[in-house]
A and B are shown apart, each in its own frame.
Chain A
Amino acid sequence: EAGVAQSPRYKIIEKRQSVAFWCNPISGHATLYWYQQILGQGPKLLIQFQNNGVVDDSQLPKDRFSAERLKGVDSTLKIQPAKLEDSAVYLCASSLDQLGVSSPLHFGNGTRLTVT
C-alpha cells in the first residue's frame, strides 16, 4: 500500500509569513493527525480528524494555525503568521482505528519548517 504522502519536505520562511503543508493519508484510514515535533521534544498532537470532523484540537494555537480535511481524505495545515518558535518538523499520520489507540499510526516523512 502507498504510504502517507506529505509535502513539502523542507520550507524556510521569514517570521510573519504564511506557510501551508499538505498531507494525503493511506487510503481507507479514517483518522488523520498533525503533530509538531520541536527539536529535543516528543511529537505534540496539534489536531486529530476522524473522517472530516475534528476530534481534538485542544493544543492547536488557533490564533495562527488552521487545518482542514477535505472530503475526509487530504488535509492541509496552515500557519499565518509564522513565529520563530514554529520552527519544527510537522508530521502527518493516519490510522485505521477510529479512536487512534489500538492500531499503529502511519507517518509521512514530515515537513521541516525553519522560520527566520
Chain B
Amino acid sequence: ILNVEQSPQSLHVQEGDSTNFTCSFPSSNFYALHWYRWETAKSPEALFVMTLNGDEKKKGRISATLNTKEGYSYLYIKGSQPEDSATYLCAPSGGSNYKLTFGKGTLLTVNP
C-alpha cells in the first residue's frame, strides 16, 4: 500500500479564482497516476491518467502535471466555477502489484 498525501484537505475559493492542489506519492516503482473528480451524490469521474515523467494533460479549464522522479502531481483549475465544487482524488499505481492507492482527496468549494 502506497503512502499517498493530498493537500490541502479542503479549500474555499471565489468564482473566477484559479487554484491548484498537490498529490505526493513514493517515486520508486511508479506506473501511473489517476485523477478523479467526485461530486456529491454522483459517481467519481476520471479526469486524467498519466504515466510519463513530465506529462502535462489538459481538459477544458483543468490541467495536471506529473513529476515521477520527485513523486508529485499538481492539478490546476483556471477560473473556478461553482460546478467545479467536488472532491478531487488522486491515485498512483506502484509497487509489485500495480494496484491503485487513493489519497483522501481535496474538497474544493467554489463560492458564487
Contact = CB atoms under 8 A, between A and B. Distances in A.
Interface of A: 3-4, 35, 40-45, 48, 56, 91, 93, 99-110
B110 interface: no
Contact of A100 (B4, B36, B41, B100): B100
Interface of B: 4, 31-32, 34, 36, 41-46, 49, 51, 89, 91, 93, 97-105
Contact of B49 (A91, A99, A102): A102
Given A56-B97, A100-B98, A102-B51, A4 B105 contact: no
Shortest Cβ-Cβ A-B pairs, 9 listed: A104-B46, A42-B102, A107-B43, A107-B44, A43-B102, A101-B93, A101-B32, A42-B104, A109-B43
B53 to A, nearest CB: 15
Contacts of A56: 97, 99
Contact of A110 (B43, B51, B105): B43
Nearest to B33: A101
Given A42-B91, A101-B98, 6 more contacts: A100-B98, A102-B49, A103-B49, A104-B46, A107-B36, A108-B43
Contacts of A42: 4, 89, 91, 101-105
A45 B104 contact: no
A35 B89 CA distance: 14
